[in-house]
Every structure is written in structure tokens, then in C-alpha cells.
Chain A
């Protein structure tokens, strides 16, 4: 299946997908690091298990939101056995679009609530 180029095709992102992309915005990560940091970033709300994570990564690889990284981090920190993943330009556009979408939602809700409070 050819990768879908339009970032809006992927919206809205599910929370776990969102956090995986968010973690990868900070740099290349291996699978377990993604699991851990996704839990950290989400304050423990997104607790990905290994199977769920790799199925998600498989889909994201197919969709070209992430790619397997060819480069390795600093050699002393590197663990030869692990595969690292990197976010693609498309992936960045998707998460940016989703963030904007959510920001717009949040703004709309805030405005509505303000109006509500003024009425009350």
C-alpha cells in the first residue's frame, strides 16, 4: 500500500500513537525506551506493553511516520543489539497537525466554558 502523504489522513491520533511520536521528537529511541518515556510523558496514563508497542510501530513503519534509524547514538551508550527508531518528516507533520487540532478543540472548549461561566 503506498504511504498516504496527507498528514490529515492520520488524524485524530490515538493517545498511544501520539505519545510514541512525541517521545521520538526528542530523538532516536529503542523500543523499551519508548515504552518507558511514553509512560513518563503521559504521567502514567499511557502504559504501552511490548506487543502493543511493536504492533503500533509496525503500522507506523508501514505508514512511513517512523523509520528504523541507520545512525546510532554515541558509541559508548549504544547497545549493539537494539534497533532504534526515528520520526520522519511526515511523522512530524502529523503530530504537529494533531497538536494543532487538539489546541483548537481546547480553545473552543475554553471559550464555550467562559461564555457558560458568564451566563451563570
Chain B
């Protein structure tokens, strides 16, 4: 069939098409195009109904694996029957019960025990392959496949918006949009909102200290939408999320245990959160944590409908779909409601500007939202580890081939005596089944170990739901499936072999000494394939290693060594205005600077490379915009005058801010080099004026060096610094309530953080410090993801390399034993041992070289999927590719050297006599 029937394929289709190679050629030739066509239709429909990509691929892969196995069995059976002139085509599956009969298994076990080295090697190789694959699958299962721990969680969706404002592509919910959707959307059983707002929890007994507690502020119906009830007390009531409602709070199980020692009389007691006394009305069950597992306290949002802000998208939206409603239908339902937003909540946004922003609702499953872009990484990991399993299978099949060769006589005689090929397949299958079960069992144990390891280090990978990862029924089923796959894979090969050997040839001994038959070609193909696969994995880890080294050398733009940080938050209730706050900060800084060993201390509201984030749109005075255009979004930070000095950020021109005067706010700004360059090229930015959204004009007084605020693997951000004390709407001043103390010191970090904690406590016992750490830890953590990924891939590729080496060794060693007579003749005719050695190793390295060539082509094709994991390294980096090729060829040389030496030591008289 001509190929032009297919339009250009996208990535998923190409992947599927490549996977079709698993089918037997005859079937593939007949149906590959139709299968790709059906795949395309199916994928389109799956997307239309909002099926998650992971679930879709699971369905596709399950179909592919079961059907390829079955079709191979059918194919083998057909060939077997044809050779034996059998006119009745039985189902190939009839060999399975035969193979699994107790007697057959016992014979198989005896046969295996007679060849312990073969048995052990096979089991180890299978255990490694199955173990690695199962470990990664159990992570994929826990993170991507298992439903969320809420009733009917498939109906829970995350509600977001897409928009087109420079630098921003998506947004969550505003209080206004939540109110609007709650009122008018028809596709939902409930819509709730939540946001993280950690609070200072005052002491609840005389022995307590104040503590910073991870908190979620939610709409009253959150627990209804999630369908989770408190284990003690009650959920929030309708109306408790309105301004002026009596303040209440719900505790997490952990906080209840910690603070109240599990006292059931806690309901009705009061506690002080951010200066507000709240009544405790409920305790959530153990393990409940929404929007994140770390949340310890839930308090209601104080919604104020007449003053709701349409454009401040600060709330995570979650909804429960009505039964039978699809994601697409829910999304269009919201889209039909959204245009009323500005009518019902004007919020002072010009309608033209709103229109230009193209705000559209977006609905995705809650699981997709939680898992985010980790999904891609995990699928890559599962794919690469599946390659390892295939390598392992190829190796075992290879060892089976080798063993089949030495049992040729036995098989031929059996065949001649009328043991049908059903018996031969059953025999191979029973051995393979035993080996696969043993390998699978050890593999599951290895996987359990691996999962434990992964959960302890995986947190720094940013993996969500890691606490839900474990070995469950589905993982066991997967391991069983992998074992069955292995058993079929390896037992089919000897059957092909048995079919091809004429009995007379074996009995005459003519079967030996030939190395060019289809049999040898199959073995060579296996060696080539696994060299190619190993190359892909080794190249991938090489790329990551290089990327990681580059990342280690990125200069963050500040000097993190010796700087410690401690965060604190002054609640509105006890520090209502800028003047009271700046007094607290002044006292604090004075005392911190007086700590012996502290050389410099300052304040800022954004710790570089932490989770902090602050951005706003900024107008530039000499870059006027067309009317109604939205200015560009920029990172902004509020700092005091000594901040740049404490962090050793170079002041390139101008000056920093002066001392903060609580009575007189200064309208000054400092900008980063990248910011200045963006607007004024090589001109000095000093004296230019900028204006944050809805604010006044600030004059630039200084320019500092660039620093990485967001991430090390992205370009340094352009950022505008504003002073801590800024003018408020009236005559008063505004000072952030949420700040971090930076202290440069030569002392150990924990000595200084303890000192800062005591100072804050002495100034106000209700204010806790939190997030205390050294900044070098932060910089270290910023490259942690790359490091963990590197570690995992390195393990995988080491495995592939070892397995590949074993494979090459097996094939070469076996080739030598087959060619003993030929080698003997050569030596008898005067060949030097060195010539024989060279001949054999050339053979091995030659095979590996073909594998390397194919591997390079595959690597170049697939490495672009790794782009997002790489920093400053091209996915086809020539150094890495060349280096990887060299490594593989060296391994191949090593693996074929031992058999080559054995060949050179062949005693010609023995070889010729014994042949």
C-alpha cells in the first residue's frame, strides 16, 4: 500500500507508529496504516471528551502489548503448523496450559538446575529489568494514574483562565469570578476557591511559642465540593465566607495532634491567628490536605461582593462537575457566563483593556492540574526504563538461543521421535515461565527498595503525590504483565530455531561451524539493538550531566555564601499601618546588626531562588503606550538601602536607597542591568521615571547587577526594586507586612537564626520567625531537580550498559565456541594468536559499531523531548554524542576481548578431533 495515504504525522502518531514495529511483519504490513488512522481518530475523540493523556496512553499501550503478544503467538503457530504439514490450526494458546502443567514445570525446573550459571544469569538480568520498570511504574501509578483521594474524584476539575497579557498566559480565579461562577454556572455541582495564606498562630498555652502555620483560606463550600467531612466538629457554614462573619477555623489532624494533643474537647475553643481570635469548629481527617498536603489550617475567605476585584486572580478554583458533563461542556458553560463579569463587578477596569486581554475560562481535571509538567518527565522515565526491560529480554532471549544451540541434538531427536512442536514450545515456555516468575518476584522486591529510595530523595524533584506512591495491586499486575511479556518474548525464539534445523544435519554434526545462518543474524541483531538502546540512555545521562555542570557554574548574581535568612510577617490586626511596622523593623535591624559576627543585615520581600514571587505591570515614562494598551509585566521587589550591600550585588551606577524615613516616603527606584538595557540600551537609566500599575511615578536613582530571582536555568530576570517605605493613597506611608531578614555572617547559620528568633520574640512574642535557612542551601536546591534526574538516568544507563556488555559477551563467547573447529583449522594452518584475537574482537566491535550508528540516529531523533530538562546544552551536543560512542565501543572491545583470548588459546588438535 502506498504511503501517501497518510498526511504528516505528529509526535504522538510517530511514536505510535514506531511502537507498531512490535507486531509481526505480515500483520504490520497489512494494517499499520489503518492502525495509525484509528489511533488518530481515537486520540482526537479522547481529547474531545477531556480524557487525560496518561489514561489514553495506558489504554493504547495495554492494547498494543496484549495484541502484539497474541499476534506473535498466532504467527509462530502458523509457521510451526505449516512446517509440520499440520492441517488443523489450533489456537497457539493451547501451548500455555500444556507448558504450565505441573509435570512440565518440574521437568523445566530440573533442566534449569542442571545449568546453574545460565539460570542465575537469566534471573538476575530479568530481575534488574523487571525491577527497574516496576519501580518507575509504581511512581507513575501513584502520581499519574491513581485517582485523587476524594469521592468521585474524576469529576473534580481545576478552574483557570487563559489570557493574553504580556508575560502572563494563564491565571486563576478572582473573588469576583468565583462569585460569578458560583451564582450562574450550570455545569457544576459546586465551585469553591482557596488560596495559600500562612498565618502567625499565637501561643495556645503558656508553654507554646508563636508559630507560622501553612494555611488555606477557602470559600465555605470547599469541603462540600471535595466531598470530605471533618472527622470532628463541622465544616464551614454558608455565609461564613462573607465579610463580617464570626471568625472560625478548622484544624488539620496533624496540627490538632501537635498543638492540642488530640484533645476532642478542642471544638469551640479559640485561638489567635494573625491577631484575630477564631473559634475552632472542626478537625479534618488524617491525610486530608487541599490545596497542598502541607496545609495545617483552614480559615474562610472574607468575601465582600460589592467590592470584589474582577482582575486579581489570586484564588485557586476547584469545581465538581455535574454527572455526565464533559470538560469541554463545562468550559463553554463558564465562557457563556464570563462576559457578565465586568457588568456585575466593575472593579474600575476599562472594558476595552479587559477585551484586549482575551480572558477565557479553562477547565482541566484536578489531577492534571496537581501533577502539572511532572507528567512529561515521568513518561520519559518510564519509556527509558522500558528500554532497559527490552534490553534485558533481548539478553535472556540471546542466552536461550545459545543454550538452544547446545541442545540442538536433543531437540532434533525429540522432533524426530514425534514430539510435536507444541511440546517444544511448551518446554521453552515452561522454562521461561519459571525464570520470569523468579525474576519478577526478585524484581518486585528491588522495586519496593527503589520506591523507598525514590520517595526519600524524590521530594526535591518536585514530585507531587509522592506520599501516595507504593506497591499496590496495579503495580503487582504490571510486574506480572512484564514477566509474562518476558516469558513470551524469550520462549518464541527457540521455537523459530527448532523449526529450521533439519534432523539429518544435526545428527551428522553439520550444524556446527556455521556462523552465517539466519540464527547468527538474529543474535547479531540483538547485539546491535541493545548497543543502540544503551547508547540512547548513556547519551541522555551524558547530556544531563553536562547540563548539570553548566548549571553549577551559573553565577546567581549575588553572593549566597554566609548569608542567612529568616522570614516574618506582621499581621494587619496588630500592625495596622506603615509607621508601626517600620518602627518594628528598625528595632529589629538594629538588634540583628548588633549580633556579634553579623557584618551586615537588611530587609527585602523577595528571597532570590525561593518560591517568592511578585510582579506588576510597569509604565515607562519615555516609552508611552497606545491608549488602553496594557503595560509589560515586571518582577518587583521591595528592599531597604543596605540590601544590595548585604547580598553583594554590585551597584553599577547611581546609589542605593537612603535610610527609610517613616514620615516621608521616597519616590525612588533602583533597576537591574537587564531592566535598564531593555528600555534604554546603553544609555544610563538614572533620572528616568517608571510607574507601577495605579501608582505614582518613581525616579530611578541606581542600577545594580543582574540576579537570578526565578530560576538558575533561565536568563537573569529584569527587575525593579522599590523602597520599603512607599507613599500610600492618603498622607500615610505603606510598608510591607511580609518581609525577610538577610544577615551576612561568618557564624554558623543556625546560631544566627536562633539569635534572630530570640530578638523577634523579645520584640513581640506573638510574631514567629520561619523559613530560616542559609542562602547557599537555596542555591543548591535550585539545581536539585537536575541532580536527582541525573542520578536516576545514570542508574538506568549504567544498567543498560552492564546488560549490553553482558549481551555482547554472551554472543561473542558463544560464537567462539561454535567456531572452535574453524579457529582450530586456522591455527593449524599457521594463524598467529594475535591474528585470531583481532579477528574475534573486530567481529564484536563491528557489531557494536553498527549499533552505535543506529543509536546515534535514534538519539538525535528522540533527544529533543529532553530539551526542557537541559540548560545551555543542545540536545544533539556533538561532544556528548562522540564521547558516548567512544564509551560504548570501549565496552564492546572489553566484552569481546575475553572470548577473543579464549579463541586464541584454542588447541588445534583438540578442536579438530572433538568437532
Contacts and interface: CB of A to CB of B under 8 A. Distances in A.
Interface of A: 1, 30-32, 35-36, 49-55, 57-58, 80-83
B861 interface: no
Contact of A50 (B38, B71, B89): B38
A54 B37 CA distance: 12
A55 B34 CA distance: 12
B37 A32 contact: yes
Contacts of A82: 34, 37
Interface in B9-33: 23, 27, 30-31, 33
17 contacts: A30-B37, A31-B34, A31-B37, A36-B45, A49-B63, A49-B67, A51-B23, A51-B64, A52-B63, A54-B27, A54-B34, A55-B71, A58-B27, A58-B31, A81-B5, A81-B6, A82-B34
Given A31-B34, A83-B34, A50 B39 contact: yes
A45 B39 CA distance: 20
Contact of A58 (B30, B38, B39): B30
Contacts of B31: 54, 57-58
Given A1-B89, A81-B6, A55 B70 contact: yes
B731 interface: no
Contacts of B70: 55
Contacts of B62: 49
Interface in B206-233: none
B577 interface: no
A52 B27 CA distance: 12
Nearest to B87: A1
Nearest to B71: A55
Q: Which 9 A-B pairs rank lowest in CB-CB distance, beginning with the nearest?
A: A51-B67, A49-B63, A32-B41, A50-B38, A81-B5, A54-B31, A51-B63, A32-B38, A31-B38
Given A80-B5, A81-B37, A32 B67 contact: no
A49 B63 CA distance: 6
B35 interface: yes
Nearest to B82: A1
Counting chain B CB atoms within 10 Å of each CB, which of A30, A36, A57, A83 scores highest? A83
B699 interface: no
A35 B59 CA distance: 14
Given A31-B38, A35-B38, 9 more contacts: A32-B38, A49-B59, A50-B63, A51-B71, A55-B27, A55-B67, A57-B31, A58-B30, A81-B6
B35 A54 contact: yes
Contacts of A35: 38, 42
A9 B41 CA distance: 35
Contacts of B27: 54-55, 58
B717 interface: no
B876 interface: no
Nearest to B64: A51
Contacts of B828: none
B35 A32 contact: no
B60 interface: yes
Contact of B67 (A31, A52, A80, A83): A52
Given A58-B30, A81-B5, A51 B68 contact: yes
Nearest to B7: A81
Counting chain A CB atoms within 10 Å of each CB, which of B37, B45, B59 scores highest? B37
Interface of B: 5-7, 23, 27, 30-31, 33-35, 37-39, 41-42, 45, 59-60, 62-64, 66-68, 70-71, 74, 89
A91 B27 CA distance: 22
B60 A49 contact: yes
Given A1-B89, A58-B27, A58-B30, A53 B5 contact: no
B37 A51 contact: no
A79 to B, nearest CB: 9
B188 to A, nearest CB: 25
B81 to A, nearest CB: 9
Counting chain B CB atoms within 10 Å of each CB, which of A32, A52, A58 scores highest? A32
A83 B30 CA distance: 11
Nearest to B40: A32
A50 B35 contact: yes
A53 B30 contact: no
Contacts of A53: 38
Contacts of A57: 31
Nearest to B34: A31
A86 to B, nearest CB: 15
A34 to B, nearest CB: 9
A53 B37 CA distance: 13
A72 to B, nearest CB: 14
A70 to B, nearest CB: 15
Nearest to A48: B63
A40 B7 CA distance: 29
A57 B71 CA distance: 12
A75 to B, nearest CB: 17
A36 B38 CA distance: 10
A52 B31 CA distance: 12
A79 B212 CA distance: 64
Contacts of B39: 50
Contacts of A30: 34, 37
Given A51-B35, A81-B5, A32 B42 contact: yes
A32 to B, nearest CB: 4
A49 B58 CA distance: 12
A80 B2 CA distance: 12
Contacts of B68: 51
B88 to A, nearest CB: 10
A83 B37 CA distance: 10
A55 B70 CA distance: 9
Contacts of A32: 37-38, 41-42
Contacts of B35: 31, 50-51, 54
B27 to A, nearest CB: 6
A36 B33 CA distance: 18
A30 B34 CA distance: 9
A52 B42 CA distance: 14
Counting chain B CB atoms within 10 Å of each CB, which of A1, A49, A53 scores highest? A49
A81 B39 CA distance: 14
B588 to A, nearest CB: 65
Contacts of A80: 5
A81 B38 CA distance: 11
Contact of B42 (A50, A55, A58): A50
Contacts of B89: 1
Contacts of B7: 81
A35 B71 CA distance: 19
A82 B37 CA distance: 8
A32 B40 CA distance: 9
A82 B5 CA distance: 8
Contacts of A81: 5-7, 33, 37
A84 to B, nearest CB: 11
A81 B33 CA distance: 9
A64 to B, nearest CB: 15
Contacts of B45: 36
Contacts of A49: 59-60, 62-63, 67
A51 B65 CA distance: 9
Contacts of B63: 49-52
Counting chain B CB atoms within 10 Å of each CB, which of A51, A54, A55, A83 scores highest? A51
A57 B27 CA distance: 11
Contacts of A55: 27, 67, 70-71, 74
A81 B6 CA distance: 7
Contacts of A58: 27, 30-31
A66 to B, nearest CB: 13
B80 to A, nearest CB: 14
B77 to A, nearest CB: 12
A36 B42 CA distance: 9
Contacts of B23: 51
Nearest to A56: B67
Nearest to A79: B37
Nearest to B32: A54
Nearest to A49: B63
Nearest to B67: A51
